[in-house]
Amino acid sequence: MRARLFVLLVLISAVLVPSSLFAQGGEVRPYVGYYYPQSNTSNFNVFQQNQLLGVRGGYYVTHDFEVGGNFAWANHFQPKNGLGPSTFAGDLGFPQGKSRAYIWEPEFSYNFSTAHIGPKLRPYVVGAVGGLTTNITSPAVFTLNVRPIVTPLGTTTFVANTVLHDNRTFFTFSYGAGAKAERLWGPLGFFGDFRGRTIPNFFGNAHSWPEVSVGLSLAFGQQ
């Protein structure tokens, strides 16, 4: 919870706090992105590819080192429809609500001031640690898989095995690189970012995917 509040505080202060208070300046970067789950997760479910909407922001502690935050929203966070365990659970009538997710993380980046490509383009590397919190509604659970049990009468029935609940937070970390085209029109520029993301313990399994994002960069102060 403290880490989530830190991320929100950084992003809000980047918009509201006067840039004169920060000698090195900073930036706010709204973006759109997409992630591509590659690996199987809980009991062979493969999660959907999906878009991200988010905002990053931060302050330069030095001319090159930036401390900031990332907050993003995914409008689907659930397995693909198909022949997987979650589809079987849904066909049996187990509850599967509308599953979304929020990603929130403090992030740290190093911007290469000596490696400019042209007068405006600035490469950087970035790492972040934080959480992915589910938002599941109507109902507030999503059944990922079921397991069979044999009743005393010798018949077989199924019960829920792995269930994703609303407001469940999983530890996540990300790592990658990008480039900023800074101050092309006054404070406005663009950026592109490519990173990997890992949830190391998603019901006992590691869950990884690549993310790509592009967006605007609104710079303030001196950098």
pLDDT value at position 129?
Answer: 95
User: Percentages helix, strand, coil for the chain, rounded to the nearest 5?
Assistant: 15, 60, 25
φ and ψ of 205, to 5 deg: -130, 150
Residue 211 CA to residue 195 CA, distance in Å, equals 5
pLDDT value at position 14?
Answer: 52
Residue 154 CA to residue 67 CA, distance in Å, equals 61
Among the listed residues 133, 163, 172, 120, the one whose alpha carbon sits nearest the alpha carbon of residue 145: 163
Residue 151 CA to residue 123 CA, distance in Å, equals 62
Structural domains of the chain sorted by starting position, each given as residue range(s) with its CATH number in brackets: 2-220 (2.40.160.20)
Q: Do 134 and 65 touch, CB atoms closer than 8 A?
A: no
pLDDT along the chain (223 residues), means of 10: 58 52 77 84 77 93 91 93 88 96 95 65 94 96 95 92 95 96 89 95 89 94 67
One-letter amino acid at 192 equals: G
| Count of other CB atoms within 10 angstroms of residue 107 | 23
Q: Do 214 and 179 touch, CB atoms closer than 8 A?
A: no
pLDDT value at position 25?
Answer: 82
Host H or E run for residue 202: strand 188-202
